[in-house]
A and B are shown apart, each in its own frame.
Chain A
C-alpha cells in the first residue's frame, strides 16, 4: 500500500476518477494501525493483564483470589499509602485552586502581569525531580543551611532569646550545679542557702562549654565582697586546673560567668529583683531590705536556641502515638506530607493560575461591567457574577489536580526519599506500585492490586471527562 500512496503524491490531475470507496476506506483505516498497535500493546492489554495479576501471588504464578486486596486494605504498610493519597486529595487540589484563583484575579490589576505569570509558571517546566531536590535543600535541618529553618530560627531567637550557656546533649541543670546551688523548679538553679542583706554568696557551676566564655569575654573570677544592705555574689566556673579537687574556694585560674541572668526570690517564691553578672561573674542586689532570700540562676541562661525542625521527617502532627498500629497508619499526618504539599504548591500554582486566568479572560465582560454600573461592590461582583461564571473552569482545574495527586509519585520518592519505601510515612499508592513492582521484595500481585485501586480511583474523573468532552463534541 505504501507504494500506491507514494504514486499519488504528485498533484492530482483534473478529471481523474475518484478512487474506489473501498480503497479509501482501507487507507484511512491504515492510518490507525500504528496508534492502535501501541495503545493495544502498551496500554490496553497490559491494563487487563494487571487486573489479572492482581488476583495472583507475588510471582504471578498462582491465583490467590482476593488475598491481595484483603492485605492491601488491612496491613498498616499499604494503609499508610492509602491514607496519604486521601490527605493529598483532600488538601492539595483545593488549596492549589484557591491560590491559582487569587493569583489570576490579582494579576489582572498589575501592569507586569505577564512577567508575574511567567515567574509563577516557571516551576512547571522543571522536572518534579529537580524541584524536589531544590526543596530537600530548602528544608535542610541545619538552620545554617536550610532557609526554612534559618527563618524559623531568626524569628524564634527574637521571641525567646537563647541563653548564653546552652546545655549540651545529656546535660541538665543538676549535672552542672557544683557548689552552693541546687536545681530549682522549671530548669532553674537556686542558691542552697537562704541569704539576707550583707551576705556574699558563691555559686559554682561546671561542665559548661568553655568556648562560650571566650566569646563572652569572661575574666578571672574574684571572691565577692560583702556589702551592707546588699546581697552580693559570684557565679563562676568552679573548676581549677591547679586545684581540681577543691570546689569551695575561688582560684585565679577560674573564670566568672558573664551575662548570667539572676533573680532574687523572696521566701514566698516571688521575684524581688533581677540582675545580670559582670565579666568576672560578680553581681549585686542593692538595698534588698529585711527578710531572707534565695538567689536564682534563671532557666533561660541554659536554654538552647532553635536548632532546626526536621521538616522532611515522618513525625506525625496529629497525636496518634498511643493508638494501635492500624489506627496510627490511618490517622497520623506526618510532617513530611505537609512539606511535600508546600513544595508541590510551588510547582503547580502556575498551572492553575494560567488555566483560571484563561477562564477569566473568556468571561463575558459586559456582565461584569453591568454589575459594576448597577452599583455592585467589587466583592459582590466577584462573588455573585465572576465566581458563578467561572465555576466550570474551576471544576476542570480541581478535577485535573485530583487526578494529578492521585498518581503522585515523583515528589514522593525524591523529597520523601527515606520515607517513601513500603510503609514509609510519605509513601502513596503510586510509589507502592513501584516499590512492590520493581523495588526490593517484589510482590507482583500486591503491586497490581495497588495499580487497580489507583485506576478505580481515577474512574470518576474519567467519567467526568467523558461527560464533559463527549457531551459537547
Chain B
C-alpha cells in the first residue's frame, strides 16, 4: 500500500453521463509554468500526508506488541530491525506466549481473525451475487417489461436509495425472530440474516444502476428476439446480460466493498455470535478493556487486504459504480 500505485483511477469517464469526448490535450491550464513546481511540491506533500495513517497502521502491525505503549511507530524508520512478523504469526498460527497479552483465539477457532475473514467472505460473496442477479432481473422487467406503472415503481426505487437502514433494523430483528417461532428458521444471529438484509438494502441502488444501463440497449434487439419466439429468461440471459457485463461488474464490485466494510448490520444481527465478520472483530477488540493494539493493527491489515486487492484489480469498475451511485 505504501507504493503510489500507477494503476489508473478510471480516466474518470462517468458511467451514465455522456462521454467527455475526445481525449483532452494538455491545455490552457498547463500553460501557467511558474506555479507548476509549487503545485507538484504541494500535492506531493499532501500525498505523503494522506499515506501517513495507512502507513502507520502497517508499521505498527509489524512492530513487537510491547512497543506500542512505549514509542511511536515512526521510530521504526530509525530502527528498522525492530520490525517482525510476530503479530501475524500469533494471529494465524498462535502458540507464542511472548506476545503481549494474547487475548484472541488463533488459527481458525471461533473468534479468531481467520475465522472472521471467512465469515466476511461468507457474507460478502452471496450478498454480492444476489444483489447483482436480483437487481438485473428487476431492472430488466422495468425496462423491457410491458406492464403498467413501471415509472412509479422506478421512482419508488430511486426514493428508497437514500432510506437509512436504521429505519428497518428493529422491525427486521423481530421479523427474523417471528420467522423462527413460525417456521423454525430464525435468521437472527446467522449469516443468512445479514445477507438478506444487505441484499434488500443493496437492491435500490443496484436496480437503479442496471436500469440506467439497460435503457441504453436498443429495444429493437429485444423485440427481434421476441418475434423469434425467445422467452424472457432467454432474452435476459443470452442477450441482455452479455451486453451488461461491465455494468454488472461495477455493481458487484461496489456492493462487495460496501458489504465487506459494513459494521452496523453485522453488529445488530451477529452481535452475540461466535462467528463475526472482520469489522465486528475489530470493533469487539477495541471494546475489550485492555485493547490490544497489536491485534487491532494486524487485524486491520487483514481486513484491508481483500478490498484492496479487489479495488486495485477492478478500479475502473468500482469508480464507475461510485460515480453512477453518487446518491447512496
Contact B229 A455 (CB under 8 A): no
Interface residues of A toward B: which range? 35 or more
**Cβ of A355 to closest chain B Cβ, rounded Å:** 6
Judge whether B260 is part of the interface by a CB distance below 8 angstroms. Answer: yes
Contact A437 B170 (CB under 8 A): yes
Q: Which candidate, A121-129, A209-217, A326-334, is the interface stretch facing chain B?
A: A121-129
User: In the complex, A351→B12 CA distance in Å?
Assistant: 12
Complex contacts, A27 vs chain B, CB 8 Å = 231-233
Which chain A residues lie closer than 8 Å to B162 at the CB level? 403, 458, 461-462, 465
- Provide the bound-state CA to CA distance between A296 and B255, in Å: 70
Name the B residues within 8 Å of A429 (CB-CB). 166
Chain B residues whose C-beta falls within 8 Å of the C-beta of A121 in the assembled complex: 9, 319
Question: CA–CA, A121 to B315, complex, Å?
Answer: 11
Are A451 and B271 within 8 A (Cβ)? no
B208 / chain A contacts, CB cutoff of 8 Å: 469
Please encode chain B, from 235 to 274, with 1 for each CB lying within 8 Å of some chain A CB and 0 for all others.
0110000000000000000000100111110011001000
B134 contacts chain A at the CB level, 8 A cutoff: yes
Which residues of A418-473 are within 8 A (CB) of B? 429-430, 433-434, 437-438, 444, 447-448, 450-452, 454-455, 458, 461-462, 465-466, 469-470, 473
Residues of A within 8 A of B47 (CB): 115-116, 119-120
* Contact, CB under 8 Å: B307 / A126: yes
Question: Are B323 and A355 within 8 A (Cβ)?
Answer: yes
Contact of B144 with A by CB under 8 A: yes
The A contact surface, by secondary structure, is helix
Tell me how far the C-beta of B283 lies from the nearest C-beta in chain A, rounded to whole angstroms: 6
Tell me the nearest residue of chain B to A49, going by C-beta.
B171
> Whole-angstrom distance between the alpha carbons of A110 and B43 in the complex?
9
Contacting pair A28 B146 (CB below 8 A): yes
Question: Beyond A39-B204, A407-B164, A407-B166, is A361–B271 a contact (Cβ under 8 Å)?
Answer: no
Query: Within A391-414, which residues are at the interface with B (CB < 8 Å)?
Result: 396-397, 399-400, 403, 406-407, 409-410, 413-414
Q: Are B27 and A368 in contact (CB under 8 A)?
A: yes
Chain B residue with the shortest CB-CB distance to A369 = B28
Q: How far apart are the CA atoms of A146 and B14 in the complex, in Å?
A: 40
Task: Kindly provide the distance from the CB of B74 to the nearest chain A CB, expressed in whole angstroms.
Answer: 7
Q: Which of A12, A46, A429, A434 has the most CB of B within 10 A?
A: A46
A43 in contact (CB, < 8 A): yes
B25-39 to A contact mask, C-beta < 8 Å, 1/0: 001111010011001
Given known A362-B14, A470-B155, contact A32–B170 (CB-CB < 8 A): no
Q: Does A325 contact B (CB under 8 A)?
A: no
**Is the CB of A117 closer than 8 A to any CB of chain B?**
yes
CB of B168 within 8 A of CB of A42, answer: yes
Distance A278 CA – B175 CA, assembled complex (angstroms): 79
What CA separation (Å) do A355 and B134 show in the bound complex? 27
Bitwise, A39-78 to B at CB < 8 A (1) or not (0) is 1011111110110010000000000000000000000000
Report which of A19, A358, A365 forms a contact with B14, defined as CB distance below 8 A. Answer: A358
B20 and A361 within 8 A (CB):
yes
**CB within 8 Å of B: which A1-46 residues:** 4-9, 12-14, 16-19, 21, 24-25, 27-29, 31-32, 34-36, 38-39, 41-46
In the complex, the chain B residue whose C-beta lies closest to that of A430 is B166
Indicate if A320 sits at the interface (CB-CB under 8 A).
Answer: no
Closest to B287 in A: A417
Q: Is A130 an interface residue (CB 8 A)?
A: yes
Q: How far is the CA of A38 from the CA of B207 in the complex (A)?
A: 13
With a cutoff of 8 Å between Cβ atoms, the chain B residues found around residue A368 in the complex are: 27-29
| Total residue contacts A-B, CB cutoff 8 A | 372
Closest to B215 in A: A473
Binary per-residue interface labels of chain A (342-383) against chain B in the complex, 1 for a CB within 8 Å, 0 otherwise: 000010010100110110011001001100100000100100
Indicate whether A109 reaches chain B with its CB closer than 8 angstroms: yes
Contact of B53 among A129, A346, A399 (CB under 8 A): A346
Q: Which of A43, A362, A462 is in CB contact (< 8 Å) with B200? A: A43
Instruction: Name the A residues within 8 Å of B169 (CB-CB).
Output: 46, 433-434, 437-438, 451
- Do B39 and A110 touch (CB < 8 A)? yes
Q: A5-B233, A129-B279, A147-B52 are in contact. Are A400 and B57 (CB under 8 A)?
A: no
Selecting from A137-145, A182-190, A250-258, A264-272, the interface stretch reads A137-145
Cα of A42 to Cα of B175 in the assembled complex, Å = 9
CA distance in complex: A116, B237 (Å): 40
Decide yes or no whether B92 CB sits under 8 A from chain A.
no
CB<8 Å pairs between A and B, sample of 19: A9-B234, A9-B237, A13-B229, A16-B229, A31-B137, A38-B196, A109-B39, A116-B47, A122-B1, A122-B308, A127-B261, A127-B303, A134-B54, A134-B300, A137-B60, A355-B322, A406-B164, A461-B162, A462-B162
> Contact residues of A with B, CB < 8 Å?
4-9, 12-14, 16-19, 21, 24-25, 27-29, 31-32, 34-36, 38-39, 41-47, 49-50, 53, 103, 106-110, 112, 114-123, 125-131, 133-138, 142, 144-147, 150, 346, 349, 351, 354-355, 357-358, 361-362, 365, 368-369, 372, 378, 381, 396-397, 399-400, 403, 406-407, 409-410, 413-414, 417, 429-430, 433-434, 437-438, 444, 447-448, 450-452, 454-455, 458, 461-462, 465-466, 469-470, 473
Given A35-B138, A45-B175; 9 other pairs, CB 8 A cutoff: A28-B140, A35-B134, A46-B170, A117-B9, A127-B303, A150-B72, A400-B326, A410-B263, A452-B167
> Which 10 pairs from chain A and chain B are nearest by CB?
A42-B200, A28-B145, A127-B261, A46-B171, A49-B171, A16-B229, A358-B12, A8-B231, A46-B168, A35-B138
